[in-house]
Every structure is written in C-alpha cells, then in structure tokens.
Amino acid sequence: MTTLRRRTVLQGMGVSALATALAGLPVLAQDRTAIRIGYAVPKTGANAAGAGISTIPNYLLWVDDVNKAGGLELSKLGVTLPLEVVEYDDRSTTEELVRAIERLATQDNVDFILPSWGTGPNLASGPTFDRFGYPQLAATAVTDMAPDLVQRWKHSFWMLGGGHDYANALVALLVKQREAGAINNKVAIASVADGFGIDLSKAATPAFTEAGFELVYDKTYPLGTSDFAPIINEVSGLGVDTFVAFSYPPDTFALTQQAVVANFSPKVFYLGVGTAFPIYPNVAGPNHDGVMGVGGIDPDSEALAAYFERHTALNGQAPDSWASAITYASLEILQQAIERVGDLDREAVANEISTGEFDTVIGKVKLVDNQLRALWTVGQWQGGKFVGLAHTERDGARDPVVPKPAWVPAA
Amino acid sequence: MLLSAILTGLVLGGTYALVAMGLTLQYGVARIMNLAYGDVIIAASFGAFVLFTALGINPLLGMLVVIPAGFVLSWLIYAVMLQPLARRSRDRGRLEGDSILATFGLLFVIQGVALVIFGAGFQSYSFLAVPVDILGTTIAANRLLAFVLAVVFGLGLWLMLTRTRFGTVIRAVAANPASAPLVGINVDSAARFAFALGGALAAAGGVVVSMYLTFSATMGVIFTMKALIVVIMGGVGNLMGALAAGLILGLVETLVASFIDPGLTLAATYLIFLAVLVIRPQGLFGKAAR
Amino acid sequence: MSLLSLRGVTKSFGGLTAVNGLSFDLIAGETVGLLGPNGSGKTTALNLISGYLPVSDGIIALSGETISTIGPERIAHRGVARTFQLVRALPSLSVGENVLAALAFRKAPVWGRQAESHIERLLADVGLAGRAAQPADSLTYIDLKRMELARALASDPQLLLLDEWLAGLNPTELRAGIALITSLRQRGITILLVEHVMDAVRALCTRCIVMNAGSKIADGPTAEVLADAEVIRAYLGDDHA
Amino acid sequence: MMKLLAALVALAALAFVPAFAGPYPLGLGIGILGYGVLATAWAMFSGPTRYISLATVAFFGLGAYTVAVLADVLPYPLVLLVAALVGLVVALIVGLATLRLAGIYFVIFTFGLTELVRQLVTYYEVNVTRTLGRYVFLPIGPEHIYWQLLALLAATLAIAFWVSRSRIGLALRVIGDDPDVASHLGVRITRTKLTLFSISCVIMTLAGAIQAPRWTYIEPSIVFNPTTSFLVVIMALLGGPNRLFGPLLGAIPLFLLFEWLSANFPNHYSIILGLLFIAIVFVLPNGVLAAGDSLWSRLTRKAVRP
C-alpha cells in the first residue's frame, strides 16, 4: 500500500512538472505519450474515509488495470497510450474541489476528469464539469434530481440512483415479506440528518404509509451522533419486526453494536451506507449475517469475483459491495467509450456513454437518460457476501432471509 | 424509561469526562490550548486497534502499553515544541496564540502520519460489546468501562492533586504560574509533567473509545472540540468541573434523544453549553476572572 | 458645598466585608489623604468611588448626584479620574496614544489635529515632553507613573483619585512627584490620595481620613490625625503607641 | 493622497484580471479574495481586542444559506441586503451573549455557537422543509463573483483603515489592552465591541453570500465547515492581525501554499503542512509583516552604520 502511494506521488509530481513545461503549448497527437486523467478527491477531512473506500481505490485499480494491459487504444490516432494521473486533494471542501477541477481542465489540460466522492460534492461540481465540457460520471451520488440535472448539464451521468429507488425497492420487498406472514406491520425508521438520510427517509416515509405499514418511529439524528442507546432502547419497546436506519458509516456500525448489546433483534434489520463495507463483518462479528442494507452485488458473477480479487490485491482491502463496483464500472464505461470513439474528443465520448452499451463488472450496462438504472437496491449479508436482494431491472436476485438469525451475544 | 435514560446518559457522559480530563490538565497547568489533543486520542485508538487485531492483545492490557506511550509522546512534544514557546512568551495571550498555531500544525502532522500508515478508511473492532444489566437497563460493558475508568481516573487524579506534594506543586502552578517560582517551584517541569499526564489520559480515552466507536484518521478534531466544550463548560483546569460537565452533557444528550427528538441532541448540547457560559462566564466550577 | 460624599458605603466579598459603613465628604479643591494599614479597605474605597466595583450598600454622590449606581465610564464622564495601585499602562499603545485615549473618550472629547497640542502639553506637565511617539512599554517605572497621571489629567477631572502614586519612587523622584501634585492642587482639582509615604501626606494633604478594618477611625486636619494615638496604633502597630 | 491614488490604481488593475486570466487563476483569485475578506474582517474586531473568534463560518454559512433560500424569490441585490441584515441581527445577539466572556471561554463559545447554528439550520431543513441541500442556480459567473469579492475586499480594507484612524478603533485597542482602564477613561465598552463585532460579522456574511452561487449546491456540512474558521484565524495571526494589510498578506501566501501542497504532495499534504505551521511559529513569531519589518530595520541599521 505504501509503495503504491509513493508511486502515485512520483507520478503526480512528474506529471505536474510536465504540465508546467507544456503549459500553453498545443498538445498534438504525435506529441502525446499518455492519456491524461485528472481527479480531485478528499484525501483529508470529513469525506476522506468514504472516498478511501469507494472512490480512490477504484481509480487506482482502473489506472493499474489499463496500464498493465498496455494502455488505451486510440484507433483514429493510431496509438495505444497509457494513462497518466494528475491528482489533487480537495480537502473535503466544495470550494477546493471546484477550483481543482478548473485547474485540471485549464492548467493541466487533462483529457478526462473523474469526479469526487459523495452526493454534495458531485452536485456542487456539476456546473464546473459542464462549463469545461468534461463528462461527469457521478458514481457516488444518490439524488432524485438526476432527471433534471441531465437536462441542465448534458454530459453528466448519474450512476447510483435516487432516494426513491432504494426506498421503493425496500418497501416492495417488505410488502412481500408481510404478505408471506414473515413480518408484522410495524416499522421503525431512524435517519441521519444529512443529504443521504433525508433523501431516503423523505422517499421511504410515504412509501411505507401507502403500502399500509404502520410507522411507529420515524426520527432523524444529527451527523456525528455517537451513542445510539436512546434510539435503540426506545425502538426495542415498540414491537417492530422491521428496523430501518438510513445511516452513515460510523452510525451504521454503532447502531449494530448497540442493537446487539440491547438484544434488539428484529426480523428485518436494515442499515444505510457502511453495511456493504468490507469492514462490516469485522465490526458486527457473527452478527453481520442476515443484516440488510443499501446496495448489493451479484454473488454468482465471475467478472465481479475477479474484480474483488484484483481490488484486494492492489489496495490491500476489498471493495465495498455497493458503490465500489459501480465506480469501477463507470470507469470501464469511460474506457470503452474512448476506445470506440478512437480519440479523445470529449463530446463524442460523452455521446457514446449516453447511447452505447457497455460490458462491465456489473454486467451489460446501457444508460437510460444518462442514468444508470440497473442497480442493486437492497442487499443482505448471506454466507459472507453482501448479496443483492432487489434489482431495479433484472431478476436473479437472492431471496431474503427473514427473519434474520438472532443476534449472537458477543463473547 | 427515565431511569434507563439517566443511566445511559451518565455512561455516555463518563466518556466525555474521561476524554476531557486530560485536556483540562494540559490547559489548566501548562496553559497550552492543545488543538492536537483529539489526534492523540485517535493515535491511541489506532495503537489499541493494532495491538488487538495484529497481536491479539486485549485492549485492557494494551492500555499498559498505550498509556505510557501517550505520556512519553506528550512529554516529548512539550519538551521539544511547546516549552520554547512557553519560555519566550511574556504574557498569556501570546502563548495562547502561539500554542494554537503550533498545535494546529501538530494536528496535521499526527493526522498525516496516521493517513499514510492506516489510510483514510474507517477502523473498528469489537471488544467487550456485551450487555450488562444495571437496574433493568442494558448497557454495553465497554461503555460502562469507560464510565468506570472516568470515575477511577478522575478520583485518582483528584487524590493525587490534593493529597501529594507533587499535586500541590501542580495546583500552585495552575493557580499562579507567575509566583510559583517564588516558592521554589520549577514551573517548566511541572507544566511538562502536567502536559504529559494529560497526554496519558488522552491515550486512555483513545483506547476506551476504540472499543466501541468507529474511528478514522481524520476524526481527531471531533474529539478535540468535544473535549474543549466539556473543559470550558466545567471551568478551565478543574477536574471536577470536567467530570460534572461531561456528565451533564451526556445526560442532556440522552434525555433529549429519549424524550424530545434525537434530531435535537447536538443542538441541545451546544445550547446548554452556551447557556452555562452566558450565566457563568468562567464555567461551572471556574473561578471568576477578578 | 461638598464635591464627593459617601454615606454608609459598604462592600462585601462573600463573607468578607472590605469596607464597612464608610461615610465622608470632600470639599471642592481639597487634597485629602486616605490612610490606613494594608487591607484596611482604602483601595476598595477608591474602586467603589470610581465605579470599578459596585457597592453592596450605601450611596456615593458627586456634586449631589448619585454615582454609585452607574458604571465606571459614566462616572468618568462626570469628572472622576484615577490612577491604579500597580501602574496600568496600555502597553501596545504609544505614550501619546495612552493620553489620547483619555482625551478621546472624555465628556468633551478632543480628537485629531487638536488633540496633538493637548497631548504635548499634558506630557510636558508631567515631565514627559517630546516622548509621545515612544512605545508605552519601553518607559521606566517613574515615567509610567507620570504617563498614567497625564492620562488621568487628560480626562479633565474635577476629582482625581491617586492610589499610592508616590510609592516606589527614590527621594529625587519623590520630590518631583510631590511638586507635580502640588501644581495640580493649585489648578483647583480635588484630590483624594491613598498613600503610605508620610512625608508626602504631610506636604500635600490638608486633611486626612484614616481607615482600619474597613471602617473610618479618624478624620481631620493632617497634623491632628497623624498625632492621634489610635491612628498610630492602627497604622504602625502597638509598639509605637 | 498618493497612497489613496495608488490603492485606486491597484484596485482598477485587479478589476481587469478576469479579462485575461484563465478560469483557474480566476478561481485562485476568488479564493484569495474570499479568505482575504474573511481574515481582514476577522482582524478588524479580533486584532485589537485579542478575542479569538471561531464564529467566522457561522456568518459565512448564514450568508450562503440566505442566498440559497431567497435567490428565487428576491432580486439579487436585495438578497445581499437581507443577508447583511441576517448577519447583523445574529451578530448583535452573539455580541450581547459574549460580552462577559474572555480568553479561551470566548474562543470555544464562538465555536459552540457555530455548531449550534449549523444544527438548527439542519433541524429546520430536515423537519420543516423536508430537504437537506439547496440549489443556487443564479446567472452569476466566476468573474462576477470575483468582482463582487474585490469590491467587498476594497470596502473592508477601507473600513478597516477608517476604523484604525477613528476613535472607535482606538477604543477597541484600549479595550484590548486593558478593559478596566478603558472603562475608567470613559470608553463605552459594550457599544464599541458590539459595533465592531457587527461590522466584522456583516462583512463575513456578505463574503458567504457572494460565494454561494459558485457552488450551486449548498448543505450545512458544506457551508458551516469549521475548518474555514480555523484557517481564517491562522491566516490573520500569520500576517499580523493589528496591521491593515496583515491579514491579507497572511491569507495570500497561506492560500497559495495550501494549493501548491495539495497539488504536489496530495498524499503527504497534512504532514508537510503541519511541519510548516510549527516552523512558522518558531521562525516568524510575530507574523509575516513584523518579520519583514524587523528584517528591514536590521538592514537599514546595518546600512547606516559605517
């Protein structure tokens, strides 16, 4: 891991030196030695942990994969070029991110820019991508605004769905369980008071009500809450079979531990971001089995298994089972679009991304209205894998295990 | 329900108090507003994490390594970096400004080292996450442990400060650094020791917190600010104040979450903090400025 | 007509009563010494008059108007200026700015070009002519005291409270200091001075008030008061009585 | 008079920067101006009084939020006016609440206040509007933001200059040195502190409001980021908070340093930055300008000596 980092640093330094040398010169095809990929990601600050799991390792893996394969073939230019990276730390602030993208676009003259991590940063950098005509492959943004945003920013692509997708899928899944008599009618929801939690709870609350569920608890808690004893204690006395938390990583883990300690073991235990993280089984111990959450993967896909292996080998950690594979798939889409266009014409590449069909680790993908609609929406830990239970488009989902196994008290 | 909320709140408050006591010692005696305090906590969490996951050492035993390490590290930080600043500043305002800048730098250094070694991701392990039943309320053993340690350390420190000669020296320096040398006290070494002791307490807090909280290299500042709030609310340099303020904040947070709305817990925390300062500008247990 | 009058003024800190039922009057133009052993409440009395501390009980009036219920800045605007027991210069300001600070915020403020001549004259009065630009924290102790006096005078006071202003001076400086205060008296400023230097008290004060343990134990012409046995006992201890 | 002319010429020259600077230099310009305004406004109150305020981002964020809420409802100049009013009202409340606080208590109070504001805005958005995150789609390009910030910076410097020459500036310095002496000299402490604090906070609020359109998307964790408050303090302290151009001259090199470090050492940014801060405290104990002064005086002294 350390050696890898050192290499990227050297690479980054080399690139910026080169950029300074080349500044102002027109970049001609025959002068090219590489395809320049730029990104600004949070390496420090509040978003660093999230980006360190879903975004940065996949960027590294993709560059490594492409370069090991000899680079990208640009048929119109008659060359095959390796990828060269210019990376910046956006320090988890929007202001830095916007400026870094301006810099990548106009100083470093990179060919393509990869987006930062998270919904807010992707929304905030949308106009800047648009202004410089770079396609934006937002693989870690969950927003119901996507249909409007693609109208506003023609070359933006939204890959992780919106709050309604996840909420509706969850409700549909639970309706079936209720009809099968596996769970009762009572549901408790706790949501983190941040963009993600609110988007999902806003979609879920009416969906649950319309489906005839009784919402006996529906509250938010602030970002940064560390003690969930009050919430779990209250919910455990309400007789719910279904507990839903639209939570963020540290809360996701804390909620699990608190529920185990309080021996609150509802038949359906659903959590938000972080459930699909490879670290989750370490946190929850044997109790991870049967926990549901956002995301999921196809456990039978060989391409995905190979991706997991390569990712683990390069980064020293497994990818998460939600946004990681989609992030990697977004890069594969970019890669294939570039190769099909045969040069670095961003307009043409963006059009190809809009209209083409691509073969990725998550299967065959065709964007609908610039959005990835083929998504795993609900997953569950089964046999050590976070398998998909519900998919927006395709079958082949695993059946949920309801009730989940009862908690095993920690030793 | 009320009893349960109160117990849970006290236990949560115990963590806050434990985390804050070291800082109140550092600020109260050494006059250093240590912005890197939370990063020392996180460093200790990483220490306990590595000992536990790589070497299989129980965090309670791990404390025997991590706490002295925290002491030595803080001792060195003070001796190398802060002592020259303390010596050259004539007045307290100057040292405050300098120490803010210097420890702000230190914060980045510790965080940067942790980022290089451990990456930015979340770390977590599970230890003593077993339920303990107290008066019908289920509490996680690791959180209970934090509370017990807060009380033990608080009591131990209080005894040390009030019953030993060394404690008298520390209190003299805290009360009046200018005149302490007149009675033959070496202010430098007292301040250095207090700063190191504060670091040891931070390390203890870090180990305990790591047992039940998910942490990452960039989370130090959250602990710093929480600790500062507790310290200021209790009255700078006052151990009992830190303990009381920690418990109050824990109680408020839990009671609001249980009976009003979990969405308002942090707002209530800050509101209480601000209200205390508006009514008592020197904190709960602090002495008036004049 | 009395300029300042105290009636039953009391100040307690918690359980400790520092000033207890203090009453006296100052006639305009007088220079009065406030004497007493350490801890007898003299400085507290000055602090109460200048509004630095609020009274616990009693009334302080200036020219017949109560000032014990208003804050120090409004008392200053009524014409009360003071120096502090330990000199309190404004260290980040220059000598001239220290004086300007008083000119600028007094009842009839002086500011800008006009203030410069005032500053120069006030500094010349206390023997600091031509030193306006010097940083205040570079002055010697006696010069700091001079500057503090110039600052107090810049407020254009009717009543000047001097808290051990002559303490810590060498004999030459003391003579100069006494001469300076004498010149103020001649300008018609009423002066209340807390002082331990007896020679100065004899030279300057027409009248003395003596305090012990928070209460007034003597009040009268200087020579009489200083001869009073009780005063000597309170002041110098039983051995001298 | 010459100085004023020079300042006006410099201002006019800076106003032409967007005409030939590319988007990235313009972005740098916006960043520098933004922090320059915040640091200068911060120092206006905190420099002379030495009250270290961490509430900068509370006002900055309030400004940004005001724009986000009202951008579709009111014409832009009116939105800015409302933002300034919001800043003023909050500043007066905060100012009154903190009157009795000093030193570290003031520092942490202002920090807690920022978090409280952020929590309350979040709670309101979550429970009343049921949405977190707002969009600001205003036809205001980077060059407009640049010009507005430049104008704000010019105004801020002009106010700071006026304050330093006026009675209220002197009053603030006297209070900073010794509040007891100040009150005995007739300085109205409450009024002075409140006035300056409010002016400083209104400027911060406007700085946030002006920059809001640049981000398009606004949520509490973006605009109430406490790091901003810390950076402003560090910049002002570095440059020397008691000089007119001190905070600005602290903001420029630090801002460029951050930029350079994050571009060239994205993976070791934190460590290098931290070590630099520590080095700065040791090498330049009184700020950049003071260091420049003492260097200058040393040089001239040498030159005078035979």
pLDDT digits (tens, 9 = 90+) for D200-211: 999 999 999 999
| B105 lies within 8 A of chain D by CB | yes
Q: Strand, helix or coil at D233?
A: helix
> Which residue, C209, C189, C142, is CA-closest to C169?
C142
Q: Strand, helix or coil at B48?
A: helix
Q: Distance (Å, rounded) from C-alpha D232 to C-alpha D38?
A: 7
pLDDT one-digit tens code per residue, D230-263: 889 888 888 888 888 889 988 998 899 888 888 8
| A49 lies within 8 A of chain B by CB | yes
D276 and B105 Cβ atoms separated by less than 8 Å: yes
Mutate which of B218, B230, B253, B271 to test chain A, going by most A C-beta atoms within 10 A?
B218
Q: What is the pLDDT of residue A48?
A: 86
Q: Which residues contact A143 (CB under 8 A, 6 or more apart)?
A: A119, A123, A149, A158, A162, A163, A199
Which residue pairs, CB below 8 angstroms and at least 24 apart, start in D248-253? D248/D36, D248/D39, D248/D40, D248/D153, D248/D157, D249/D288, D249/D289, D250/D39, D250/D287, D250/D288, D251/D32, D251/D35, D251/D36, D251/D38, D251/D39, D252/D32, D252/D36, D253/D288
Of residues D293 and B36, more confidently modeled: B36
Q: What is the pLDDT of residue C62?
A: 93
Asked whether residue D7 is assigned to any structural domain, the reply reads no
Interface of B with D in 133-192 (CB under 8 A): none
Tokens of B284: 């709960």
Q: Which residues contact B177 (CB under 8 A, 6 or more apart)?
A: B31, B187, B191
CB contact under 8 A, A230 and B257: yes
Among A16-20, C2-6, C87-91, top mean pLDDT goes to: C2-6
pLDDT one-digit tens code per residue, D105-120: 888 889 888 888 988 8
| D50 lies within 8 A of chain C by CB | no
Tokens of C230: 């009780």
Interface of B with D in 30-49 (CB under 8 A): 33
Tokens of D296: 């200058």
Domain count, chain D: 1
Q: In chain A, whose CA is at the least distance from the CA of D34?
A: A95
Q: Strand, helix or coil at A168?
A: helix
Instruction: Give φ, ψ of B230 to 5 degrees.
Output: -65, -45
Task: Chain B: list its partners (3+ Cβ pairs within 8 Å).
Answer: A, D
| D75 lies within 8 A of chain A by CB | no
Q: What is the pLDDT of residue B109?
A: 92
Mutate which of C84, C105, C113 to test chain D, going by most D C-beta atoms within 10 A?
C105
Q: How far is CA A274 from the centre of its chain?
A: 11
Q: Does domain B2-279 have CATH number 1.10.3470?
A: yes
Interface of A with B in 294-353 (CB under 8 A): 317
Q: Please give the span between the terminal C-alpha atoms of chain A, in angstroms, as a whole number.
A: 33
DSSP A344-361: --HHHHHHHHHH-EEEET
| B263 lies within 8 A of chain A by CB | yes
Q: Which residues contact A388 (CB under 8 A, 6 or more apart)?
A: A295, A296, A297, A298, A299, A376, A377, A378, A379, A397, A398
Tokens of A358: 């691509």
Check whether the bond before A403 is cis (ω within 30° of 0): yes
- Chain B residues whose beta carbon lies within 8 Å of the beta carbon of residue D276: 105
Q: From residue C158, give the alpha-carbon distance in Å to each of B253, C18, C28, C185, C187.
A: 57, 26, 8, 11, 10
Q: Please compute the mean of the pLDDT values over residues C175-189 and round it to a whole number.
A: 88
Which of A42, A221, A274 shows the shortest C-beta gap to B265?
A: A221
Average pLDDT over all residues of chain D: 86
Q: Please compute the mean of the pLDDT values over residues C73-86 and round it to a whole number.
A: 91
CB contact under 8 A, D217 and A94: yes
b/e D12-50 (16+ beta carbons within 10 angstroms → b)? eebeebbeebebbbbbbbbbbbbbbbbbbbbbbbbbbbb
Q: What is the pLDDT of residue C5?
A: 93
- Chain D residues whose beta carbon lies within 8 Å of the beta carbon of residue C72: 180, 183-184
Q: Distance (Å, rounded) from C-alpha A238 to C-alpha D291?
A: 66
Asked if residue C139 has pLDDT above 70, the reply is yes
Which of A9, A145, A202 shows the shortest C-beta gap to D267?
A: A9
Tokens of D240: 């020397």
Q: Where are the alpha helices (DSSP H) in chain D?
A: 2-15, 17-20, 23-49, 56-70, 76-97, 103-124, 142-165, 167-177, 179-184, 189-215, 220-223, 226-239, 246-264, 269-283, 288-304
> Which residue, A211, A186, A324, A330, is CA-closest to A268?
A186
Mutate which of C43, C92, C98, C162 to test chain D, going by most D C-beta atoms within 10 A?
C92
Mutate which of B270, B280, B284 to test chain D, going by most D C-beta atoms within 10 A?
B270
> Which residue, D228, D52, A135, D183, is CA-closest to C105?
D183
Tokens of A211: 């489906």
- Chain D residues whose beta carbon lies within 8 Å of the beta carbon of residue C84: 181
Q: Which fold has domain A2-161+300-366?
A: Rossmann fold (3.40.50)
Grade residue D58 by pLDDT with cuts at 50, 70 and 90: very high
Of residues D304 and D37, more confidently modeled: D37
Average pLDDT over all residues of chain A: 87
| B272 lies within 8 A of chain D by CB | no
Q: Distance (Å, rounded) from C-alpha B85 to C-alpha B65?
A: 30
CB contact under 8 A, A253 and B122: yes
For D127, counting Cβ atoms within 10 Å of its Cβ (0-12 exposed, 13-18 middle, 19+ buried), the class is middle
List the CATH code of the domain at A163-297+377-391. Answer: 3.40.50.2300
Alpha-carbon distance D127 to nearest alpha carbon in chain A (angstroms): 9
Q: What is the pLDDT of residue A17?
A: 43
Domain extent listing, chain A: 2-161+300-366, 163-297+377-391
- pLDDT by residue for chain B (290 residues), tens only, comes to 788 888 888 888 988 888 898 998 888 888 888 889 999 999 999 999 999 988 888 888 899 999 999 999 999 999 998 888 888 776 666 777 778 778 888 988 998 899 888 877 788 887 877 888 888 777 888 888 888 888 888 888 888 888 888 888 888 887 777 777 777 778 888 889 989 999 999 999 999 888 888 888 888 888 888 898 899 898 887 888 888 999 999 999 889 988 888 888 888 888 998 888 888 888 888 765 43
Interface of B with A in 126-155 (CB under 8 A): 126, 128-131, 137-140, 143
Q: Distance (Å, rounded) from C-alpha A65 to C-alpha C50?
A: 80
Q: Distance (Å, rounded) from C-alpha A108 to C-alpha B168?
A: 62
Which of D167, D174, D183 shows the shortest C-beta gap to C72?
A: D183
A4 and A52 Cβ atoms separated by less than 8 Å: no
Regions of chain A where pLDDT drops below 50: 1-27
Dmax (CA) for chain A in angstroms is: 71
Asked if residue C112 has pLDDT above 90, the reply is no
Q: Distance (Å, rounded) from C-alpha C165 to C-alpha C169?
A: 9
Query: Which CATH number characterizes residue D252's domain?
Result: 1.10.3470
Mutate which of B19, B42, B133, B138 to test chain A, going by most A C-beta atoms within 10 A?
B138
The H or E element spanning position B41 is: helix B37-55
User: Which of A4-18, A129-143, C67-81, D164-178 has the weakest average pLDDT?
Assistant: A4-18
Q: What is the pLDDT of residue A5?
A: 42
Give residue D177's domain range: 23-304
- Chain B residues whose beta carbon lies within 8 Å of the beta carbon of residue D97: 274, 278
The strand pairing partners of C212, in sequence order, are: C215
Within 13 Å of residue A264, how many CA atoms lie on the same side as its CB? 29
DSSP type of residue B79: I
CB count within 10 Å of CB D9 equals 10
**One fold for both A2-161+300-366 and A163-297+377-391?**
yes
Instruction: Give φ, ψ of A243 to 5 degrees.
Output: -115, 125
Which of D31, D219, D264 shows the shortest C-beta gap to A95?
A: D31
Q: Does domain C1-74+158-166+190-241 have CATH number 3.40.50.300?
A: yes
> Which residue, B143, B148, B146, B150, is CA-closest to B239?
B150
Grade residue D33 by pLDDT with cuts at 50, 70 and 90: very high
Interface of B with A in 229-258 (CB under 8 A): 250, 253-254, 257-258
Q: Strand, helix or coil at C157?
A: coil
Q: What is the pLDDT of residue C231?
A: 67
| A55 lies within 8 A of chain B by CB | no
| A254 lies within 8 A of chain B by CB | yes
Specify the pTM.
0.86
Q: What is the pLDDT of residue B90?
A: 64
B278 and D97 Cβ atoms separated by less than 8 Å: yes
Q: What is the pLDDT of residue A393?
A: 73
> Which residue, A359, A387, A259, A335, is CA-closest to A35?
A335
B213 and B27 Cβ atoms separated by less than 8 Å: no
DSSP D247-265: HHHHHHHHHHHHHHHHHH-
> Which residue, C72, C5, C32, is CA-closest to C221?
C32
Domain extent listing, chain C: 1-74+158-166+190-241, 80-156
**What type of residue sits at position B208?**
V
Grade residue D177 by pLDDT with cuts at 50, 70 and 90: confident
Which of C51, C73, C90 shows the shortest C-beta gap to D178?
A: C90
